[in-house]
Amino acid sequence: MKSILEKISLLAITVLTAATLNASNIIVGNNNNAAKVSNQKVTKNKELRGVWVASVSNIDWPSKKGLSVDQQKREFLTILDNVKKWNMNAVFVQVKPTADAFYPSKYSPWSEYLTGTQGVNPGYDPLKFMIDEAHKRGIEFHAWFNPYRLSTSGSRDRLSSDNIGRKKPEWTVAYGGQLYLNPGIPEVNDYVVNSIVEVVKNYDIDGVHMDDYFYPYKVKNQEYPDSAQYQKYGNKFATVADWRRNNVNTLVEKLHKSIKKENKNVEFGISPFGVWRNSSTDPVRGSETKAGVQNYDDLYADILLWMNNGWIDYVAPQIYWNQGHKAAEYNTLVKWWSKYAGQTNTNLYIGQAAYKINEWKDAKELINQINFNRNYPEVKGSIFFSYKSLLTNPKNATNSLAQGPYSNSGN
């Protein structure tokens, strides 16, 4: 997940200019694939209604570094109370944003987003507190991990001495002004899996969640610096792209097996960028989109393979564009993901762009999207990015959601 400003910037450069149409009766896709669609309300039983709670850069919680234990707890209880008030039933909380942790860990230091300094104990176990309080309210708790990011600054200066980036500098790579673990090193994937399974072992979480960050989004005129690792580990692969995809596939498969071995009831889900591939790239399986970023080709994330092989329990594509968008049309993508989810045992949730409501021309865009989702039985619910955006009730959307599509409990 990106901060709101980062998200807007990314979308501006990766897709073409948006075009907003009347969302109650619009045309899907291009002219040779046109079909009328309806946003008529459809009542459905038992749907996931989730909210992403981002901790990186203190986007959602805690609101700033260095708050007292009581202040941090009060802020999180307010989040849960609002989620409950909005008739939602799940939170996806970022507990490992930059190889740090919101819990005591033998693999990672305490997060700087708690105390202001990485490695400093906040004086309580935030993860246990959050899980306990969520469950008291009947709210699912999904622990959200970033597998590879070490620093948002590209520097080791703020990493504590027990951060893996300091202990194993040879595992790291600097790219685009940020510091990452290198997926091309087999030991890195082992470390990532072990650090996540630690939480599955020690906490009563409902799910392990990862978002769209595998290999980082490409930076213009910068080549990802992993040629040495490719020479060492990738000689059986025809291209560096195939090797990179295999590195991520290996992580996802091993993580799934390790989670299920520890606790088969813990779900494992991933929220990828909203476009797998454009049809111009893959005429057989690609979507009728013109996105500037493609999971398979740019992030080396072969989500369809993971779904087909049963390596993830759910997929939550970030379909962060409006109905009628020229390059990545919302309805077109919901239909595409529904088709491929329906061919597997993977539950489908839609990642919804609450942070974009104010820039959308139609004040009912988000409500129309939810109602559209309900036309497709493969869509089992939604996750909203992010809590902070819903809190401001942009264009009265949060109230409209709670009084409209979410007026019942959803169970």
Say which amino acid occupies 396.
N
pLDDT, position 13: 37
pLDDT tier for residue 152 given thresholds of 50, 70 and 90: confident
Q: How many CB atoms lie within 10 A of CB 198?
A: 19
pLDDT tier for residue 409 given thresholds of 50, 70 and 90: confident
Region for residue 101 given its phi and psi (left: phi exceeds 0; alpha: psi -120 to 50; beta: otherwise): beta
pTM of the model: 0.89
Per-residue pLDDT tens digits for 34-60: 334 444 444 334 899 999 999 999 999
Q: Exposure pattern of 261-289 as b/e (b: 16+ CB <10 Å)?
A: eeeeebbbbbbbbbbbbbbebeeeebbbb
The residue-averaged pLDDT of 107-114 equals 97
Determine contact, residues 117/111, Cβ cutoff 8 Å.
no
Determine contact, residues 93/55, Cβ cutoff 8 Å.
yes
Most distant CA pair in the chain, distance: 61
Residue 43 tokens, joined: 């009542």
Per-residue pLDDT tens digits for 326-384: 999 999 999 999 999 999 999 999 999 999 999 999 999 999 999 999 999 999 999 99
Per-residue pLDDT tens digits for 229-282: 999 999 999 999 999 999 999 999 999 999 999 999 999 999 999 999 999 999
Give kind and range of the element (H or E) at residue 314. Answer: strand 314-315
Per-residue pLDDT tens digits for 305-324: 999 999 999 999 999 999 99
- What order of strands is seen across the sheet that includes strand 149-151? 149-151, 178-181, 172-175
Q: For residues 114 and 309, what is the distance between their CA atoms, to the nearest angstrom?
A: 38
pLDDT tier for residue 155 given thresholds of 50, 70 and 90: confident
Q: Between 309 and 411, where is the model more confident?
A: 309
Separation of CA 151 from chain center: 18
Q: What is the dihedral of CA 32, 36, 37, 40, to 10 degrees?
A: 180
Q: What are phi and psi of 370, to 5 degrees?
A: -60, -45
The residue-averaged pLDDT of 2-13 equals 42
Number of H helices, E strands in the chain: 13, 11
Residue 231 tokens, joined: 């020479």
Omega of the bond prior to 280 within 30 degrees of 0, cis?
Answer: no
The residue-averaged pLDDT of 145-172 equals 91
